[in-house]
Amino acid sequence: MNEDQENIFPVDDDLFDETFSADCVYTFCGEEFKINQAFSANLGVAAPVWDAALHLCRFFEEKRFPLKGKKIIELGAGTGIVGILAARLGADVTITDLPLAVPQLQSNVSANTPSGGWPSVEPTVVPLSWGQDQKNFPSDWDLVLGADIVYLSDTYPLLLETLTHLCEDGAVVYLSSKMRKEHGTPCFYDDDLPQKFQVELVQRDQEQNINIYRATLRDV
């Protein structure tokens, strides 16, 4: 990644003045997850478990979403809770984020390995920088997932480019987002994503201002 691309994903130096670690325990689909959050200026927004990720996990739980046997890639995974849930339910999962987030992701995958082993395969953790190296990844996914990854307008064209490549063979996208008007999040779903995708709002939490969208690539 060159310097210009790094600047597209800024780290707020004042976000975490102190470096510390916190563990949180969550339960979804009868499975317990212990997620470490390594708060530091280096990780920035990749450190916490965001509410939009919990909403997506709860959505899969409430809908009894069939994840077993699915080939899944998660973008901007942060702590990795969404991808880890999918893997614990029997999916073949690739969990991605910027290189700086990979150690936290790998640590959380290791900490959440079931006592009897993964029902399918252990999740793969690899870096993926949007708009740069998505073509190093295949396009034969069943699902592409993302939670709270739509918050910085400069990255929207890169995210759209990445989603388009990953979905060329028919993958379905599920994105969960805090709808931050000040960051142009609604514009991404109203204007940017529909340029290439059929977009459907599948869940709306009015109180927490979190939406979950389903998207499929338009026929060329």
Please say whether the dihedral angle defined by the alpha carbons of residues 77, 173, 220 and 193, taken in this order, is positive or negative.
negative
d(CA 84, CA 186): 27
For the stretch 164-183, what's the b/e string if a residue is b when 16 or more beta carbons lie within 10 angstroms of its beta carbon?
Answer: bbbbeeebebbbbbbbeeeb
- The per-residue pLDDT of the chain, averaged, comes to 89
What average pLDDT does this structure show over 176-195?
97
Full-prediction pTM beyond 0.85? yes
C-alpha span between 85 and 112 (Å, rounded): 9
Determine the pLDDT at residue 46: 55
Q: What integer pLDDT is reported at residue 219 of this predicted model?
A: 83
The secondary structure of residue 88, as a DSSP letter, is H
The region that residue 44 occupies, defined by phi over 0 for left and psi between -120 and 50 for alpha, beta otherwise, is left
Please give the average per-residue pLDDT across 32-37, as a whole number: 90
Distance CA 189, CA 198 (A): 10
pLDDT band for position 15 (cuts 50, 70, 90): very low
pLDDT tops 50 at residue 12: no
The pLDDT value recorded for residue 40 is 55
What are the tens digits of pLDDT across the range 117-172?
Answer: 999 999 999 999 999 999 999 999 999 999 999 999 999 999 999 999 999 999 99
Per residue in 68-108, pLDDT (tens digit) is 999 999 999 999 999 999 999 999 999 999 999 999 999 99
What pairs with residue 24 in β-bridges? Answer: 35
pLDDT of residue 50: 87
Burial class (CB in 10 A: 0-12, 13-18, 19+), 29: middle
